[in-house]
Amino acid sequence: MKIDIQTRVFAANELAAAENRKYLDSKNLFCLNMISSPGSGKTTILSKTITDLKGKLEIAVVEGDIQTELDAQRIRNAGASAVQINTHGGCHLNAEQVAIALKKLEIKGPGLLVIENVGNLVCPSAFELGEHAKVIVLSTAEGDDKPVKYPATFAKAAAVIINKIDLLDHVDFNLPRVRADIRQLNPKCEIFELSARTGRQMDRWYSWLLENTVS
Amino acid sequence: MKIDIQTRVFAANELAAAENRKYLDSKNLFCLNMISSPGSGKTTILSKTITDLKGKLEIAVVEGDIQTELDAQRIRNAGASAVQINTHGGCHLNAEQVAIALKKLEIKGPGLLVIENVGNLVCPSAFELGEHAKVIVLSTAEGDDKPVKYPATFAKAAAVIINKIDLLDHVDFNLPRVRADIRQLNPKCEIFELSARTGRQMDRWYSWLLENTVS
């Protein structure tokens, strides 16, 4: 019984995700699903990306949070369109919520659509939203054991951003170990090591976004 | 239908939680349910606490993780008994899992039992485990918007630990704002501002543990 209902929930989500993907492809939008722990820096990375790629890449954002409109406001302040989804307790976004947000955004395309998922390293990775790729963000302040402790999430990433590289001297974070652990779970994903706060090594991330976006 | 099943899941959990509580009380064990994002420093706080309170307070730990036995091993290295629960994808602990772990631990009491929940700031706060109090850990590296973004979790805390205070100079974290936001959600909870890494201001945390533990 429990499994039947779970299966139906996932099946309904898969259908909605497939519809989202069709819509995104029809608009030539490259879509990323960003997943991380709370406070890894997703919104800061996005804000800086929007500012730095102004004029080069059209970016819109769907913001997922349990409550508040704070993150959508930060994205708008950076100069991009944003729609906030509040899950009111829900620990992840689902494809139906994203479908509603896409309608509200009315993006023309081509360009980049980023879905910033609810801060949670577990549940969001189980729900496809129609994205083309998942980007996992891990901050150096979170410790270097996260890939082995959350393998399902890291295994699905097209790219992993190791953020807050500027804190490396102040935290216990074995960067070579993390690189190796990610590679073992996911040999092909891109790994970016950067600091959205200082701007360090954001260039490779920008190049990757531009390469993957139809212009 | 969906609500019926959810209600039954919560009811079964409540029953198991009540049984756990009876068991804990019969042994004079004060029990904390520690909840935080991944990488806020729960295990480091616990390891240091175990080391520093050796001879003063009997401590045992139930470790919740999706995978790996890493945290239980860290706790054992610090000198306490630990049982690891692996949820294999599950995003929170439930009371039945804790009941099994309690049997394995065979703690005599009196003392302190800490349940270190799965790293997740959302789901764990919805499942009572039989604990006497919830402790939320928030690291300064996670940003200062977490209380307003995860209000249900912070509202249930008997204590909030603001960890990694040693990083304050290197991150954007408005400590007075966080204090005020926590107070607004939860006027009575204890707030500890400390660094488990440097040992700064661990004393008040220790005093609170000792005061709450029957000896």
DSSP-derived secondary structure for B82-126: EEEEE-TT-SS--HHHHHHHHHHH---SSEEEEEE--S-SSGGGG
The model's pTM is 0.91
Structure tokens given for B88: 């294999």
Does the structure show a pLDDT above 80 at B10?
yes
What is the spatial distance between Cα A55 and Cα A95, in angstroms, rounded to a whole number? Answer: 29
pLDDT of A214 reads 67
Does the structure show a pLDDT above 70 at A153?
yes
Structure tokens given for B200: 């700064």
**By a Cβ cutoff of 8 Å, what residues of chain B touch chain A?**
1-2, 5, 37-41, 65-68, 70, 89, 91, 118-123, 126, 139, 141-143, 145-146, 148-152, 164, 166-167, 170-172, 197
Residues 6+ apart with CB under 8 A from B94: B13, B16, B127, B129
User: Nearest C-alpha of chain B: how many angstroms from A25?
Assistant: 31
Does the interface predicted TM-score (ipTM) exceed 0.90?
Answer: no
Structure tokens given for A37: 């722990």
pLDDT of B151 reads 95
- The answer to whether A165 and A204 have CB atoms below 8 angstroms apart is no
Domain boundaries in chain A?
Answer: 2-212
Q: Of B37, B44, B76, B71, which is closest to residue B59 (Cα–Cα)? A: B76
Out of B139, B145, B146, whose CB is closest to A141?
B139
Q: What is the 3-state secondary structure (H, E, C) of A162-181?
A: EECHHHHHHCCCCHHHHHHH
Does the structure show a pLDDT above 80 at B52?
yes
Tens digit of each residue's pLDDT (9 = 90 or more) over B135-152? 999 999 999 999 999 999
Superfamily holding A2-212: P-loop containing nucleotide triphosphate hydrolases (3.40.50.300)
Q: Is B126 exposed, middle or buried (0-12, 13-18, 19+ CB in 10 A)?
A: middle
